[in-house]
Amino acid sequence: MARSTADGGPEFLSGTLEMLILRTLEAEELHGYGIARAIEAASGARLSIEEGSLYPALHRLEKRGDVRPEWKVSPTNRRARYYSLTQQGKKHLKKTTTAWLDVSAAVNRVLGLVPANQPTLGRAEAT
Amino acid sequence: MARSTADGGPEFLSGTLEMLILRTLEAEELHGYGIARAIEAASGARLSIEEGSLYPALHRLEKRGDVRPEWKVSPTNRRARYYSLTQQGKKHLKKTTTAWLDVSAAVNRVLGLVPANQPTLGRAEAT
DNA sequence: CTTGCATACCTAGATTGTCTTGGTATGCTT
DNA sequence: AAGCATACCAAGACAATCTAGGTATGCAAG
């Protein structure tokens, strides 16, 4: 998906790209190139979106019916394929986000980093 | 890696498995089967570790020098391959954990779940 | 004693998402 | 006219996971 801008390799987060795309489109209708820039900006330049991952992901989402494409002219006066979220896409985003929070919280729990007040099977953590 | 116990598919977190293994071994020396059970327990039964992912991951870590294996007899009286963390493994765990926190925080920022431009782990952000 | 189950290990092959690399094209700016 | 940012796309390599098998043992139940 996204790689950290820090290290050189693909790290973590296979599958997050689609979620991030959907989330970005929830905020505003955008074309692929713009989505990539928007995600990078929103991440505080910590993620970089490769086009070789981006476009296949967009086509998957389109085929799945989560986004709807439309050719338009961008503010820079170029032909660009603008994507908008479908109802299904919105639902999918909500579901996926919940799953992400759930799983990433589970990972943090295993790492022993749980930000307190999370009741986890009576596993008390020593300070 | 781990799949959420909730949904049926491999979701998120490619690459997290190795980190979770290392973290588990930091707590105690363990064999593969036990590692899987330990991670599942620590996650509050939210993750499930597939053996087809687990053993290849252990062998990667071993080849990389992050863990050291040793045949022993388990409390259940069976031959079992116990793994312990090497110094390199400890270092790797620390590095990987930082990367995970960094990237997952970035994802949350894109999702809009975290106020933008918040310093993560002391990594200051210019404004 | 034999059936069944949990423990414990392993691999081959399919699948999937990402990355690498290359390509096309256009609109500005210099 | 050259160079750059914008904007799109695909083929093939690569890496981690999952599927689906397999082996073997200790123990408890019948």
Torsions phi, psi for B87 (to 5 deg): -60, -45
Average pLDDT over residues A49-55: 96
pLDDT tens digits, A56-67: 999 999 999 999
Is the confidence at residue A7, as pLDDT, over 80? no
Is the confidence at residue B59, as pLDDT, over 50? yes
Determine the nucleotide nearest to B82 by Cα–C1' distance: C8
Inter-chain CB proximity B110 and A15 less than 8 Å = no
Residue B64 (CA) to nucleotide D24 (C1'), in angstroms, measures: 28
Q: Is A75 exposed, middle or buried (0-12, 13-18, 19+ CB in 10 A)?
A: exposed
CATH 1.10.10.10 is the classification of domain B2-111: yes
Among residues B99, B11, B50, B44, which one has the least CA distance to residue B35?
A: B50
Is the confidence at residue A8, as pLDDT, over 50? no
Inter-chain CB proximity A15 and B20 less than 8 Å = no
The contact set of A with B (CB < 8 A) is: 2, 4, 6-7, 10-16, 19-20, 23-24, 27, 39, 42-44, 46-47, 97, 99-107, 109-113, 120-121, 123
At A4, the pLDDT band (50, 70, 90 cuts) reads: low
Is the confidence at residue A115, as pLDDT, over 90? no
Name the residue facing B44 among A20, A101, A109 (closest C-beta).
Answer: A109
- With beta carbons under 8 A apart, name residues in chain B contacting A97: 111
Average pLDDT over residues B109-124: 63
pLDDT tens digits, A74-102: 999 999 999 999 999 999 999 999 999 99
d(CA B112, CA B10): 24
> What SS3 state is found at B48?
strand
Q: How many other CB atoms are found less than 10 A from the CB of residue A69?
A: 15
Q: The domain at A2-103 falls in which architecture?
A: Orthogonal Bundle (1.10)
